[in-house]
Amino acid sequence: MKKILITGGAGFIGSHVVRRFVNKHPEYQIFNLDALTYAGNLENIKDIENQPNYTFIKGDIVDESFINELFSLHNFEGILHLAAESHVDRSIEDPLAFVKTNVIGTMNLLNAAKNQWKNNFEDKRFYHISTDEVYGSLGTEGLFTETTSYDPNSPYSASKASSDHFVRAYGETYGLPYVLTNCSNNYGSYHFPEKLIPLFINNIINNKPLPVYGDGNYTRDWLFVEDHAIAIDLVFHEGKNHETYNIGGFNEWKNIDLVKLLCQIMDQKLGRDEGVSEKLITYVKNRPGHDLRYAIDASKINKELGWKPSVTFEEGLEKTINWYLDNEEWLENVTSGSYKDYYQKQYS
Ligand code: NAD
Ligand code: DAU
């Protein structure tokens, strides 16, 4: 069996990728490496933990000797790298944590792969999962393509941009076989409630204020997380070596319109009168350096690999909201403890 390493598989997107690979690819032995930070949660992958082709390893990608030891124990033929510090607001508070995990952690994995594969790169692949935020902000028009210049604005996006550059540099300098994708905002189950959609669902359930940054006219391009996992599977197997693909939902929403839609659906689901949840909307101080608009041109992955989103936003949002309402225990567990301190600090 080919050994495949997936990093960050206890997080939001990583858990969907691990689940897909374990279930759809019995020919692989999947190793899920995750440090279980505040964002990592083994409950996210409980359903596959006893599968014979699955192994969990707790460890920190920043720890160089641990990574080298791991690679001395296993010959990985493929690496899907998702582990990261992922929240923009936290990067504003603690940029160095983002440099450590997103830059140094990626470097440790690149070095370990390069040393293990020792110039015999046949059938090997390093897949770096990145974000559209590296391109900076769009004005009211235009889309990010694979040739858009990098122009990151937050410590998070700067750290992801840096890691993308190192991946490319290892491809050019050492011939390391890589693929890289830059994806837009994901939503779906197991999304940690520090991000807009799960945070607002949780606050609506609990009748708490919905803190909209600035005037709410900031735009994001939303993609259902399971469609991202499908795209990742496709790019890992069929993407061209040394290529970048943009992945997006063809689905732009101004934050305020999305929040109002969420409020409407939640009122129906919770049996509340129309307009009740909208009253929770509270405009708060803007995020520093807040990017106005992200929107992806996903025509390359569509034309070359035949990928497009499989669910509409209405379907995806319905599934997502139902999941949160059916999994209140998960939501309660992840919003207890340190989450309360984070919330207090961020929103007081
Ligand atoms: P997440 O924060 O939900 O999960 C990150 C995971 O990485 C967690 O399980 C955490 O424990 C683990 N991790 C963090 N630091 C680690 C370390 N030092 N060593 C080992 N594991 C560590 O993130 P996510 O939203 O699932 O994002 C996954 C990847 O996809 C990231 O690289 C992110 O930049 C990228 N991405 C995210 C989105 C999005 O909308 N969420 C969109 C595009 C790209
Ligand atoms: O575009 C891809 C990126 O999407 C990923 O790389 C990041 O990991 C992921 O966190 C996400 O970044 P955003 O900053 O776009 O996501 P977030 O959910 O934090 O915010 C979405 C929008 O909602 C953004 O315009 C800020 C706004 N917002 C967010 C929060 C948490 C609010 O108005 N209020 C809030 O409380």
Residue 267 CB partners (closer than 8 Å, separation 6+): 273, 274, 275, 276, 277
Q: 119 pLDDT band (50/70/90 cuts)?
A: confident
Q: Which residues contact 348 (CB under 8 A, 6 or more apart)?
A: none
| Separation of alpha carbons 343 and 348, rounded Å | 8
Which of 113-117, 119-123, 234-238 shows the lowest per-residue confidence on average (mean pLDDT)?
119-123
What is the mean predicted confidence (pLDDT) over 114-131? 95
Q: Which whole number is the average pLDDT over 131-141?
A: 97
Average pLDDT on 336-340 reads 94
Please give the class, per CATH, of domain 2-187+222-247.
alpha beta
Give pLDDT, residue 248: 98
pLDDT at 177: 98
User: Looking at residue 146, what is its pLDDT?
Assistant: 98
Nearest to 312 by CA among 211, 245, 227: 227
Residues 129 and 164: their CA atoms lie apart, in Å, by 9
In CATH terms, are 2-187+222-247 and 196-219+252-292+312-338 the same topology?
no
- The percentage of the chain sitting over the pLDDT mark of 70, rounded to a whole number, equals 100
132 is catalytic: yes
The strand ranges marked E within the chain are 2-7, 28-34, 54-58, 76-81, 125-131, 178-183, 185-187, 210-213, 219-224, 243-247, 252-254, 281-284
Pocket flag, ligand 2, residue 195 (CB < 6 Å):
yes
pTM of the model: 0.99
Ligand 1 proximity of 10 Cβ (cutoff 6 Å):
yes
175: burial class by Cβ within 10 Å (0-12, 13-18, 19+)? middle
Q: Give the torsion through C-alpha atoms of 2, 78, 118, 64, to 10 deg.
A: -110
Query: Catalytic residue among 28, 135, 156, 178, which?
Result: 156
pLDDT at residue 56 tops 90: yes
Tokens, residue 321: 């909201």
Between CA 89 and CA 291 the distance in angstroms is 12
Is beta strand 125-131 parallel, antiparallel or unpaired with respect to 76-81? parallel
Mean pLDDT of 312-335: 97
Q: Is 133 a catalytic residue?
A: yes
**Average model confidence (pLDDT) across the chain:** 98
Position 251 scores a pLDDT of 98
Closest ligand (CA of 293): 2
pLDDT tens, position by position, 185-244: 999 999 999 999 999 999 999 999 999 999 999 999 999 999 999 999 999 999 999 999
Instruction: Kindly state the greatest CA–CA separation across the chain.
Output: 64
Which class does domain 196-219+252-292+312-338 fall in? alpha beta
- Whole-number Å distance, alpha carbon 16 to ligand 1 midpoint, is 12
The number of helices, as runs of H, and strands, as runs of E, in the chain is: 13, 12
Residue spans of the domains in the chain: they are 2-187+222-247, 196-219+252-292+312-338
Q: Which amino acid appears at position 56 of this protein?
A: F
